[in-house]
Structure 1
Amino acid sequence: MPREPLPLGGLGTIRIDRLPNGHWQAVAYTRDKDGIRRRMKATAPTRAKARTLLIARHTSRTPPQAKTLNGSTKLHVAAKKWLDQVESSDRKYATKRIYKNVVKTHITPLIGALLLREITPSQVQEFLSVVAKPRKIGDKTVGGTTTAKHCKVALSQIMTMCVLDGAVTHNSVDAAKMNKNPQKSVTALSPEQIQEIRDNVRAWGTVRAPGPPRNATLMLDFLDVLTGTGCRPGEVLALRWEDVDLENGTIRITGTIVYTEAGVTRQETAKTTTSIRWFKIPEFTVQVLRLRYMRTADKSGPVFATRAGTYFQDSNMRRLWRSARGEKWAHVSFAHYRKAVATLIERAEGMAAAADQLGHSSPEITRRYYVERAEMVDFSAVVAAMAPSESSPIVAPSGS
């Protein structure tokens, strides 16, 4: 993983070397509030004095202040300053990566040359409209509704920083409106469809084809854990054997898989605080995990480990899925399994229970995006309590 930056105002490791004249020189780096690392040094007759002098200089120095923004500052300069703050914060790696990408790919190229005082709600709205439409950059397609939302969040935070710096008087992003796409109805897989997909994957695994053997067992095990838990794919791939209690049939979700510059790694925190959860799993999922445990050499590693014993990359599992699901089920993603679990639990136990299983902070999120709406509701037994009493005569209309 990339080395963590020094905390703002912090002093790094002190290195002390002897100079040709016999004196000692202490050298270390500090990171000032503008995010820039600066080299400090101190020389003294002894090693201890050199170290003490360097620490004293660091404590007493007046660090350079971050560049003050003003209305004539260009947006890309403010965006760079904001990204430096984001990088030194404790936000999750995936969040930092999203913000870096939207600034580099969209904000800087499209509106980065604007002066801060020139940014108006109408310009922001026009910018978001452009980003919301997928476009080509080389051979890569970028943009879309979700990207536009990320851009608005990033741009709003940049302008809030500018307000706090006194560069502008208000955040012009907040007044901009995004075109709302009509909400799509949720479609969840039925138990019968899930079984049909399993049969399809099993048959796919028996077909001999050029290339490496088709790993249907891995795919089926992964799908069975998705089906039995309703977890996000990254949460399942981040499962370790220490998170699984086969005797009591429970699992703990405590992390997720992320891809960094250093490769695939386990993020030791889940997507949100409510995503951290502990729950019972059905017997068929326990059986799948028990068989995997028996086949696993490293009982301290990932439940779904590569041949090298490392964590699977989410994109590699999705690539295997696209090959295994077949043409008939080409429209089905791992999210459909999550929706299937949410819909089944909601029908039996209510929306709050479904939200707890999926790790959502609010049942409204579950209702809006994960539970398929019932075609027919039947509360006739409840409404029957308002039936007229049999002793009440039915009065015929006059003139009949």
Structure 2
Amino acid sequence: MAREPIPTEEYGNIRRLTWKGKPAAEAWYRDSAGARRRMLRTGPTPAQAERALKDALKDLFAVAASDLSPESTVSDLLERWWPEWLATEPAEQTVQTYESRRRQIDAGLGGVRLKECTVPRVDRFLKTIRQGKAHRTILRGAFGLAVRHGAMRANPMDNVASMPQKPRSARRGPQAPDADAVAAMLALFRAFDRSKDGRGAVRGTPLEDFGKIMFATGARTNEVLALTWADVDLEAAQPTVAIRATLIKDGQARQEYPKTENSERLLLLPPFAVEVLLRRRVEAYNEKVFPNTRGGWIQDANFRRRWWHKALEGSAHEGTVPKAFRKAVATLLADATDARTASRQLGNTEAVALKHYIQRLNEGPDATALLEAAFQTAGERGDQVSGQSGDQMET
């Protein structure tokens, strides 16, 4: 009866021998084409020779199964992983962020071979950069691909240190400005809009109007900057604004859907916001609610650096970021109604709103009646004890 052939991409029994005076190990295997071949490896001892042979066979079959191998570099891996990740159709803003983080990883680990990507090496790299979740997501996904293709035995991201946490003293919940602080900042914005620039011309910036719409909606900066007149309905019985887009590519393009599924929403406008938008619509010369001087989109980075922060410079509110208005809206709504209502206004989940936007004090239960009763009972007992002691002293 004929001997059963070795399955493809597997090897048969390993035999130890001496080859040219050195301990060696050999085995027959079948390659991906089905051809029967022999492999031999030497080592300082028979056991080490056998281990070297097994490692070589494993690497060989990994190469046969994939174009990735332990000899591939992290750059090779990222090139292979990137199209697979793009196929999941991430948001354009996410692609921008990941592209930037991918370049950082490539600069720090690109030339390292996959077999050299140990937990200590990857951990050291993460500690040398200002890491965020995106770095870890990319590395975990890419190394996971390498494991699936047999180029790595385990994903080193499973055992690297967790992301650094803020010191306990710095772990504060969301800090939101109150209505008075918002009013003070709007006054500073108005003064900035009416001030003169270095050439002596009135700035005419829309900072106060922008701040009012931020406070009226609780929307994200790029959601407000992306508004067009098609998103605004001022003729309705209750005027509304539809948040259904955001600016991407540093304000160079409008993405026709917002950040998350929860972000697309229709918001009712308070009278002060309606007044702002009615005036701006009369003055409008294109479809954008907040166009720049050339009629294009206002870039978020320029908006913050050249207008927002400059207007608040030297005041008690210096350093306040636009997101603070979003926190103010969330906190006001949560205090007046509940966290779920606030999250719907912001276009977030309730959990995200509570974690990042709503300023809250941890409220204890209403134990006033129980504590009062305990206090009164203790007082009565104290009076009784005091009375008995007095009687004994008189006796």
Specify if TM > 0.5.
yes
Give 1:236's aligned residue: 224
- Cα distance, 1:393–1:92 mapped onto 2, change above 3 Å: closer
- 1:279 maps onto 2:278 in alignment: no
Give 1:354's aligned residue: 342
Contact 1:86–1:96, Cα closer than 8 Å, also in 2: no
The runs of 5 or more residues in structure 1 that have no matched partner are 1-64, 133-146
Query: How far apart, in 1, do the equivalents of 2:180 and 2:345 lie?
Result: 22
- 1:179 maps onto 2:164 in alignment: yes
Give 1:40's aligned residue: none
Q: Which amino acid is 2:115 matched to?
A: R
Contact 1:186–1:371, Cα closer than 8 Å, also in 2: yes
Contact 1:125–1:178, Cα closer than 8 Å, also in 2: no
SS in 2 for 1:197: helix
Query: How far apart, in 1, do the equivalents of 2:372 and 2:127 lie?
Result: 54
The structural deviation recorded for 1:122 is: 2.8
Give 1:168's aligned residue: 152
Query: How far apart, in 2, do the equivalents of 1:394 and 1:199 lie?
Result: 55
The structural deviation recorded for 1:216 is: 4.8
SS in 2 for 1:77: helix
- 1:225 maps onto 2:233 in alignment: no
Q: Which amino acid is 1:98 matched to?
A: T
Query: How far apart, in 2, do the equivalents of 1:394 and 1:174 lie?
Result: 60
Contact 2:244–2:258, Cα closer than 8 Å, also in 1: yes
Q: Which amino acid is 1:326 matched to?
A: E
- 1:296 maps onto 2:284 in alignment: yes
Contact 1:202–1:216, Cα closer than 8 Å, also in 2: no
User: CA deviation digits over 1:180-212, x for unaligned, max 9?
Assistant: 124334221111111111222222333334237
Query: How far apart, in 1, do the equivalents of 2:79 and 2:353 lie?
Result: 36
The structural deviation recorded for 1:93 is: 1.9
Query: How far apart, in 2, do the equivalents of 1:68 and 1:216 lie?
Result: 59
SS in 2 for 1:266: strand
Give 2:85's aligned residue: 86
SS in 2 for 1:278: strand
Q: Could you state the TM-score of these two structures normalised by the residue count of structure 2?
A: 0.72
- 1:71 maps onto 2:70 in alignment: yes
Give 1:130's aligned residue: 128
- Cα distance, 1:99–1:162 mapped onto 2, change above 3 Å: same
Structure with higher Rg: it is 2
User: CA deviation digits over 1:80-117, x for unaligned, max 9?
Assistant: 2212333455222221222221121x212222222223
Which of 177, 192, 195 lines up with 2:180 in the alignment?
192
Contact 1:204–1:324, Cα closer than 8 Å, also in 2: yes
Mapping of 1:252-271 within 5 angstroms? 252-259=242-249, 264-271=252-259
Give 2:8's aligned residue: none
SS in 2 for 1:70: coil
Percent of aligned pairs sharing the same letter: 27
Query: How far apart, in 1, do the equivalents of 2:121 and 2:289 lie?
Result: 49
- Cα distance, 1:379–1:250 mapped onto 2, change above 3 Å: farther
Contact 2:194–2:203, Cα closer than 8 Å, also in 1: no
Query: How far apart, in 1, do the equivalents of 2:189 and 2:284 lie?
Result: 22
Contact 1:343–1:370, Cα closer than 8 Å, also in 2: yes
Q: Which amino acid is 2:178 matched to?
A: S
The runs of 5 or more residues in structure 2 that have no matched partner are 1-63, 387-395
Q: Which amino acid is 2:96 matched to?
A: R
- Cα distance, 1:266–1:392 mapped onto 2, change above 3 Å: same
Contact 1:71–1:115, Cα closer than 8 Å, also in 2: yes
Contact 1:71–1:117, Cα closer than 8 Å, also in 2: yes
Contact 2:245–2:258, Cα closer than 8 Å, also in 1: yes
User: CA deviation digits over 1:213-262, x for unaligned, max 9?
Assistant: 444551111000001111110000111111111132211111100117xx
The structural deviation recorded for 1:169 is: 3.2
User: CA deviation digits over 1:40-95, x for unaligned, max 9?
Assistant: xxxxxxxxxxxxxxxxxxxxxxxxx9962122211111012212333455222221
- Cα distance, 1:209–1:269 mapped onto 2, change above 3 Å: closer
Provide the alpha-carbon RMSD of the alignment: 2.9
Q: Could you state the TM-score of these two structures normalised by the residue count of structure 1?
A: 0.71
SS in 1 for 2:158: coil
Query: How far apart, in 2, do the equivalents of 1:243 and 1:264 lie?
Result: 19
- Cα distance, 1:108–1:217 mapped onto 2, change above 3 Å: closer
Query: How far apart, in 1, do the equivalents of 2:313 and 2:166 lie?
Result: 30
Query: How far apart, in 2, do the equivalents of 1:213 and 1:103 lie?
Result: 44
Query: How far apart, in 2, do the equivalents of 1:385 and 1:242 lie?
Result: 58
Q: Which amino acid is 1:250 matched to?
A: T
Q: Which amino acid is 1:253 matched to?
A: I
- Cα distance, 1:205–1:78 mapped onto 2, change above 3 Å: same
